[in-house]
Every structure is written in structure tokens, then in C-alpha cells.
Structure 1
């Protein structure tokens, strides 16, 4: 009996110690029905920017960039870590650039999300070391259906896996030793925009052999267990072929490009999960993968086939749980549509890459308000002429002020966001006891620019902080309201414009006159970036 109790005590102590370590490093946790990123034991909302692919290849190239980042109110920089630079010779590692980036980020009070440019970057294997590229026999590449090799490492090779896995494990061990106390590095993206080109699947002999083998039991078990939860487009493929559970890939899913893509998705995900797990075994901070989005008219192979896309979400999840979530990279205007797809099955939303255009700041605010995203990050963030004048910095300033409130009410059904333009100029939200109608500022006839052919994008976030009381923040919006309860009217008791100082609200101006159209609406004009606090009341 004493021996058994001793074992229980030791296991409990070990588990408790491990749990304590996990809680004291960056990690994800549930808050209501959403997910928070926790850094230094506090919720952290990423106001990010991703560097261009070559900007962080030396500290000299980075020197003029740091001030632009802080001038735009970023708190996080997404930057590549290049396999070819950290392991220029097999087994010989150089982490000087990694250390320099971490030290300078600390100096600028910035966090880092490292993007592991390992086996794949935008499908290709462009950042693998020379000793990998030159030894095709040991580190084989994919082949297309004409038996032509491409500069893409095949995921079917154990040598390819072990080389990548070993380098990533060394990187994570170094980050742990160098940064665990400070927590400058808060997440890792494993690989970059994985996908198969120019055919839907790999035709290397190793791949052909795997294609004829039975579908792995691990995937079949996942399908059976989660049959009622599978994303509809994937469920339909399995259903169309009779929900079979025994056979090879074509026997289970039928013949066609869709099966080629499912097959590749399994092996890409299996490979990437093994790499991520090896890194997490050393230092288990959050890890994610990102996807290049496919266009509806394109077929697998015309876009990077088998990447971590929404219609393949179940395949990626079935292959392992070392990857915490899937993320979209946006060079596609269908922002709401894709985010709706990526947030199925409780997948947390983080947007690591968005084209740095005039819409990006407003989409970022909307993602944080409506989807309660972990964060947002435009690409090539350093490519600005005057960082202090960028709308992104003004939106990020609002988000920075509101972050404690956002994180406090996350996952509670008390927050939402709107995204408006000329074609979609009205959005209705029900929150608390009210229905809010948000319209683009230019819907007001007297607004400057109302007759313009193209309206600038606008957005806002609304948070219920008490009964009848809300923060509304953003740019270019007009808000009216009515009670959800019939036979009642709504009026404004008080509207204040203000700021947060040391996380406490400070009123700058009290409205209720012309600024609210004599109590008819709340307005933040195009070109203005404000937080307003509104208290409503009802009357018969």
C-alpha cells in the first residue's frame, strides 16, 4: 500500500510540475467559447505585422525597420527563421541571428512569432540547406505525373522528416534556453503555406506505394468517431462513396483529384505534426500552420493542393494534435467567407498574413471584434513610407486601449464587430437588450465623400460592459439602436468620447448634442479613430 501511494505521489508531483511549467510559458486557454493566448500569465492580443521574406536575414537589414514597427503600435512581429541559415552545415547550428532578433525585440518591447521556413515555404523547398538540396538521393523531391522532379521535398521520405525534425528540435531547445524566462517568442508557425504543385499529389515511388496501401486506421477511426461533426464538403465525399472504412485511398474516397488531395493532406499533416511534436516535447508553446487560399475556379494542383485548408480541416486534425490551429493567409477579398470556414469546429482564428492594403486595418478590427481572433498581421509590414500616418497604427492604438476589456469579455457573447463598404453598407447586431444598426458613415447625405464612386472600408467593435452600457470603437460608422423588447423605444442617456489611461477610462468629450444628432445616433466619421462609451435607456 505504501509503495502504491508513493508512486501516486510521485506521479502527481511530476504532473503538477509539468502543468506548472506549461502554465508559465506562452499557451492557449479557453475563455467561454473562444480561445485566448496567454503570455507571461496574462491574456495577450496580437497586434502583429509580418516581415517580408528577406528582411530578417541580417540585423543590418533590420536596423531601419524597428522604429516603423513601434510607430504603428505593433506589439508582435512575425519573422521567418530560415533552416538554411541556422544549419548551414549538417549538424552544425548557428543561432546568432535568432538571438539578435530576440534581444532587439525585447529592447523595443515587442514579442515575436517565428515562422519556421523548414521543408516548405509557399509549397517550395527554397529555404532548405544546400546539403539537403544537393543530395537528392538521400533527400528526395516530389515528382509530378510525368515523373519530373520539383524543388519540393516529398513528405514520404523518412530522411526528409528526420532532417527537418532535428533542426526544429534544436531551434526549440535553443529558444527555451534563451527565452523561456522573458517569453519574447510567443508562438511558432511550423512550415509556410504547405501544398503540392503542379499536380494534386506526389508521384514519387514512395508516394505511389503509399497511395495503394489501405487508408491509415488512425484516419478511419477519426472519421467514425467524428462522423456527425465533419465539415460538410469532406463528409459529402465520404458519403458519396458509401462511408467505407476499409480499402485504399480510391476505394474509400473514390477516384479523382479530390482523393489525390486528401491523400496528400494526410501525409503533409502527418509530417508537420511530427515536426511540431518534436519541438513541443522540448518547449511546448503554441504552434500553428498557415494556408494559401484556393480560388473556386481552381483545381488541386492549380492551387497548393492539400494545404491546411478548411475543406481538409478534418484530415489535418486527424493526423495529430501537435498543431494547435489552422490559419488563413489573405490575398483574397472574401474575408468573411473564409473566416467563417476557418472558425468551424472551434478552430481559433489567427490571421498571420494579410495583404498590406488600405482594407487591412479595418479587417483586423473586425476579426478581433466579430471572430474574437487571437490576433492579426499584415504582410510586408515594413513597406511603409511614413509609419506614423498609417491607419493601421491608429486602429492598433484603439485595440491596445481596449485589449483588457476585449479579453475580459471574450467568449461571453458580449462582443461583436462590423465591416462596411459601399456595397455592404449596413449590418445589424443584437447584443444585450438591443438591436444595433451599423451603417457606413457615407450613408449620411451630408457626409463628405458620400457621392464618391468608391467608399473606403470602415469597421467597428462593440462591447457590452454593463446593462445598457457599451463601448463602440472604430472608424467610419453611424449606429442607431432599438430595444429587442417590443413597444419600447431607446434613447441615449450619455455618450462620451474617451481614452484609456493605465487601463482606466478617461472621458475627453461629452456628446449628446450635434455629435449624436440630438440623441438619434452614435457616429465616428471616416478618418476619425475613436472609442465612445454609450449608455442607453428605454421608454414607452
Structure 2
């Protein structure tokens, strides 16, 4: 009887735990890493609040209705340690509860950003009782002995205090939100990293730096040698690929080794935070990085953060973290995203500069990079209008969600991003057809299409519904369709009337036609989608709007969904 009662109690506990299980998860499906919500793929059409925008109940209540109008499905919101625990051991969840309430009222999901021991490297959101007791909670030091407003990652007391507050947040979310599922992910710290010096040079840090490289890191590098980031592999090999030794012996002398050392210990700290939090409530957790851009050296940018060239160190020391994410404020968007879309790391952009180009960038991240989400920073400052690019883009992508959920992670969904420098690219989504995608300003019909003008980025998301049938969703793009290997597309210059701009001059002879068939456009329709993903035609574009069957196009400043049906002929 006693044994039966114990078994019944255990089953009840399991049922209770199941009722409290999180509704979001990170899953690997085939070769694609996806964010799932209620067992379906979920793409974050997000926006991150400015650092101070969730620090009062009044601000929270004013901001959230506007965010819903912009078209977000998710808001990234800071949780401030100093306001959560103003006196040690005394917790105030009023701001977090108000955030949960407003998100639910506006049918929005949340990603919570833990502004704990570090925010943009500094310990600026740690409580005053923590900051002022620098003996108990020691600081990091520069190489010349200067103490910094940066808590030391080597202090057990720092970790203990930070973890205690973080775990209280996780427990509160589990209690208040597990069954509702408003919170889909947690960001652990914010842009962690060392400034002024590449590593902490305090006494305890120096002692650890002179010790042997931990065996787990050497084992990880050896086991994953064929898949290591090229920068990490080169650093290790140039120092002799040693299997044991101090940090300088294994990775060589220099600030690059300082950064590897510091990355390992930051990651170990974050692993303790994450592992403890997930033991309470197993919700997806990630870390974000400030970029090593503009030729800056470690310490000039936040050294040792979750940067792409340090991904192996972070994966080794912090296996509980689900992924590493970039905060993007520099030029070279496609290059930065490519650094984080890796075989062992999905792309999520928690922060990007808020600008009009974000509309087509979101399409590219979703279509081409198979991303988890896209989130411009300081979203509450967006100058809302129905015609603004981000508003149009998010509405368009929301309409497409049934199809996106169906095709996300497959080779049937792609994307392109174009500008003045990279104005044309080619996609091949089926054996028979090539798609040549060009910036809208390559056509002569827009008065802004001049070489001395700035070109807004153009781009689109493509879904292949079946053979010879596509959805194209985006802005500022022209797409032609040609038989595989054809060189005939976009070969002639067009005048403003759409005819050949040759002035009656004799044209050079073209290569003789040598294909078995040609690809034609059966029709181009502007469409909407219903909630089940069924296509609803708005109007047909078989005249001037597709240049009499020559291409499909969407002008700059417009976001449209096109349904294109092709055919072949001889």
C-alpha cells in the first residue's frame, strides 16, 4: 500500500510538472535548428525596448499598445537587477508583472533580458549594495592595475548574488507564466565582455592564467578539430596544437590568448547561471555579443564575449546555452549574419540599428538564413505609420506565417538582399528554373534610380510551392525566370517606356539559341493569405505590372506578396 501511494504521488508530481512545462523550445529538425512554440516553428518578429523603457509602470503601459500596432509578435524587455533587488534579499516583481500583463493584453510574446552582473560589459545595473561592497564583490582590473566598474567573473560571491536574483526571476516566471507561455526565451546578461584590457588582470585572474588550460577545453578542441572556427583552429595550430600547458603555451602569447582565457571563464560563469535557471524552468536561453568591428582589438571592443571566433570556447564551457547571437550596428549586414549562421549555431538578431532597411532584412534573415528572429533596438522610438517599411514588412510576414511555418527549415524557402553594390544575384530552387533577382533601381522607371543617389536595400523571401510555382514577398526587387543555364535574362538596356534603348543603332548579334525550351510567366498575382495559408488573389499583374510577362517586380517602398505561376514552351 505504501509503495502504491509513493508511486501515485510520483505520477501526480509528473503530471503537475507537465502542466508547468514551457511552451517554447529549441529543436534540431533535419539540419535546421528552430525555435518552436506549441510544437510549431515560431519566428520572432520582434523589437527590443531601449535600456530604460521598462523601468517604470507608466512607461510599460504606454509602450505596449504601440508595439502591437507596429506588427510585432514578440518584445525583448530588460529585467533590471537593481530595481528587482534594491535591498539584498528583498525582491520587487512589480515591473516584471506589469510587463507580463501588458504583453498579454496586446497578444505579444516576451524575451526577457537579464541585466545582471553585466550590461554592455559594465556592472551598471547591479544594485548599489552590490556595487559599494567591492571587497565582497570584487572588480576586474586592467593590466596596469586600475579597478573597473566591471564585476569579476572569478568571484564566487559575485556569481552567488547574481545567480540568486536570476533564479528568483526564473522561479517567478515559472509560477506566473508557465501555463500561459508569454515568455518564450531568456537572454543571460547583456553583451558580456571585458573593456580596456583583453582580460581581467586581478590577482585571482592572473593566478588562473598561469595555470594549465582546463582538460575539458583541450578535449573539446581535439574532438571537434575538423569543425572548429578557422580563427580558433589557426591560433591553436600555430602554437603547436598542444594537448596540455598553460594558456600561453597552448595558444601563444598575446591579447588573442588573453581573450580566449577570458571567454572560457565568462562562459563558465554563464553556464552556472544558465544551468541553475534551467533546473528551475527549462526555457530556451541565449547570450548576445557586441561585435568586434572597425578593426578594434580585444578590450577596445568587449573582449571575450560570445563572438563568432570564440564560439568553440563558449560551446565547450557553456553547453546549456542554446545559441550565441550578434547585436548589429555596423555595415556589412550579410557578412555579420553569415558569421552566426553556422552548423552548430542558429541565427537570431536580438538587436539591430532601427532603420528603414530593417524591413527587407527581416525577410532575408527568415528566408535565406533560416533565422529564429529579428529585433530592431529601441523599437518604441519607431515613427509609426502604416507606410513605414518595418510596419509593412511585419504585416506581410504575419500574413505569410501559415506558409512560413510549413516551409521553414526546408530548401523550399530562400531569401535575397540587394543594394547598389550587390544589385543582382541568382537563385536556383528547382532543376529547371533559374531566378535572377535584381534591385528595383536596375530598372529605369523610378526617378530615384540614379548612380549618385543612395539606394535603399531591396529584397524578398521566396517560397517554392510546387514545380514552376512561387511566392515572392518583399520590396524593391525585380525577378526574371529563365531556363537553367540561360544567358538571355536582362541582357538589353531598357528605356523609360520599357522598350529597348538602342536609338535605332545596329545591335551586336546575340548567341544562337541552343536550349530545348523557354520559361514563361503564366501569371503574376498580388495576393493575401487567409489564416490557413490559402492564397487569396487581390489583382492580376499580367500587363504593365509584369512588363508584359517579362518579370515579376515589387517597387521600392512597397511590400507585396506575389504568387507566380510559370510554364515552359518551345
In the superposition, the TM-score normalised over structure 1's length comes to 0.95
Structure 1 counterpart of 2:473: 473
Within 5 Å, which residues of 2 pair with 1:11-410? Answer: 24-410=22-408
Contact kept in structure 1, 2:46 and 2:72, CA below 8 Å: yes
Distance, in Å, in 2 between the alignment partners of 1:22 and 1:524 is 46
Distance, in Å, in 2 between the alignment partners of 1:365 and 1:224 is 38
Q: Name the SS of the counterpart of 2:118 in structure 1.
A: strand
Residue 498 in 1 paired to residue 527 in 2? yes
Larger deviation, residues 350-359 vs 496-505: 496-505
Distance, in Å, in 1 between the alignment partners of 2:326 and 2:19 is 30
Change (3 A) 1:14 1:140: farther
Distance, in Å, in 1 between the alignment partners of 2:68 and 2:539 is 28
Shift of 1:20: 5.3
Change (3 A) 1:277 1:58: same
Distance, in Å, in 1 between the alignment partners of 2:386 and 2:563 is 26
Rg (Cα) greater in structure: 2
Contact kept in structure 1, 2:22 and 2:283, CA below 8 Å: no
Structure 2 counterpart of 1:438: 437
RMSD (Å) for aligned C-alpha atoms: 2.0
Contact kept in structure 2, 1:199 and 1:301, CA below 8 Å: yes
Distance, in Å, in 1 between the alignment partners of 2:229 and 2:33 is 20
Shift of 1:47: 0.6
Distance, in Å, in 2 between the alignment partners of 1:421 and 1:498 is 26
**Residue 554 of structure 2, aligned match among 521, 524, 527:** 524
Distance, in Å, in 2 between the alignment partners of 1:174 and 1:411 is 33
Change (3 A) 1:133 1:529: same
Shift of 1:87: 1.0
Structure 2 counterpart of 1:463: 463
Q: Name the SS of the counterpart of 1:120 in structure 2.
A: coil
In the superposition, the TM-score normalised over structure 2's length comes to 0.90
Distance, in Å, in 2 between the alignment partners of 1:29 and 1:327 is 17
Contact kept in structure 2, 1:22 and 1:284, CA below 8 Å: no
Distance, in Å, in 1 between the alignment partners of 2:264 and 2:444 is 55
Residue 538 in 1 paired to residue 537 in 2? no
Gaps of 5+ in 1: 1-5
Structure 1 counterpart of 2:500: none
Q: Per-residue displacement from partner, 1:145-173 (whole Å, max 9, x unpaired)?
A: 11110000010011111111111111101
Contact kept in structure 1, 2:22 and 2:282, CA below 8 Å: no
Contact kept in structure 2, 1:364 and 1:376, CA below 8 Å: yes
Shift of 1:318: 0.3
Distance, in Å, in 1 between the alignment partners of 2:103 and 2:176 is 13
Change (3 A) 1:93 1:23: closer
Distance, in Å, in 2 between the alignment partners of 1:387 and 1:51 is 19
Distance, in Å, in 1 between the alignment partners of 2:345 and 2:174 is 26
Q: Name the SS of the counterpart of 2:260 in structure 1.
A: helix
Larger deviation, residues 12-21 vs 102-111: 12-21
Change (3 A) 1:469 1:346: farther
Change (3 A) 1:356 1:444: same
Shift of 1:478: 0.5
Residue 511 in 1 paired to residue 541 in 2? yes
Shift of 1:372: 1.2
Distance, in Å, in 1 between the alignment partners of 2:161 and 2:516 is 69
Contact kept in structure 1, 2:476 and 2:556, CA below 8 Å: yes
